[in-house]
Amino acid sequence: MSIKKSFFISACLSGFLFATSAPVLANNLNNGIHFYKAKNYLMASKLLEKSVSESPRNWRGHYYLANAQMALGRFTTAKYHYELVRNLAPSQVIQSRAHQAIIQMENMRLNANVAAVGSNQSARATVDHEAVLQKNKRRILAEAEAKAKFIERAAENQIKAEKANSNFWMVNPQGEQVMVIPWQRENQIRQEAANNAQHVRQTAQRNADNVY
């Protein structure tokens, strides 16, 4: 085969390879834009990532990739590609769109942070309110228990006082002479005290249950 013929075949093959590779680059971009407009942002991102990797200075690839990433909530990646668009796009209109998109994302992020703070504050307020309620309930029950114990102690003191002034006496198992009162009277004092103490405790429990 002659040198001229070999050169001609090589040139044809080179031209063929170049011709077949160029549409692939264009297809990644065009298909990516197609999927973006169809709102299939995940597939659009995959194709447009290939497009900007193959043609990093093509602003359209970065622009639509940024749009797709923003739609997916990937603000950091979207901002990166919008910034590239501001540097690469020949049109001030496109540069302005990229700039406005960056501002919009920052506002969305700020609003999300404010909402999160508000939610945390609301949660803390709920927890604080519940803590106050529980504290008030414990206080009510503790005060009632102290009052009930006082009633019970007062009953025992009353029994001791009445025994001290009694005209009745008996000998205990130790052989000691002790003053006594009728057992019916002693039981009466203790029963009245128990009833009063129970009433105090039950009233306190109802009051605690109604604390909101």
**Per-residue pLDDT tens over the stretch 22-54:** 455 569 999 999 999 999 999 999 999 999 999
pLDDT for 179 equals 82
Q: Environment class of residue 189 by beta-carbon count within 10 Å: exposed (0-12), middle (13-18) or buried (19+)?
A: middle
Confidence of residue 190 (pLDDT cuts 50, 70, 90): very high
Show Cβ contacts of residue 79 under 8 Å, excluding neighbours closer than 6 positions.
66, 102, 105
Segment 68-126, tens digit of pLDDT: 998 998 889 999 999 999 999 998 989 988 889 888 888 877 776 665 555 555 556 55
CATH topology of domain 3-114: 1.25.40
- Name the pTM for this structure: 0.45
Question: How far apart are the C-alpha atoms of 165 and 177, rounded to whole Å?
Answer: 14
Question: How far apart are the C-alpha atoms of 89 and 165, rounded to whole Å?
Answer: 109
CB crowding 21-42: b at 16 or more within 10 Å, else e: eeeeeeebbebbbebbeeeebe
Segment 128-177, tens digit of pLDDT: 667 777 888 888 999 999 999 999 999 999 999 998 888 887 887 888 87
Confidence of residue 199 (pLDDT cuts 50, 70, 90): very high
Question: How far apart are the C-alpha atoms of 198 and 151, rounded to whole Å?
Answer: 10
Question: How far apart are the C-alpha atoms of 107 and 100, rounded to whole Å?
Answer: 11
CB 190 within 8 A of CB 159: yes
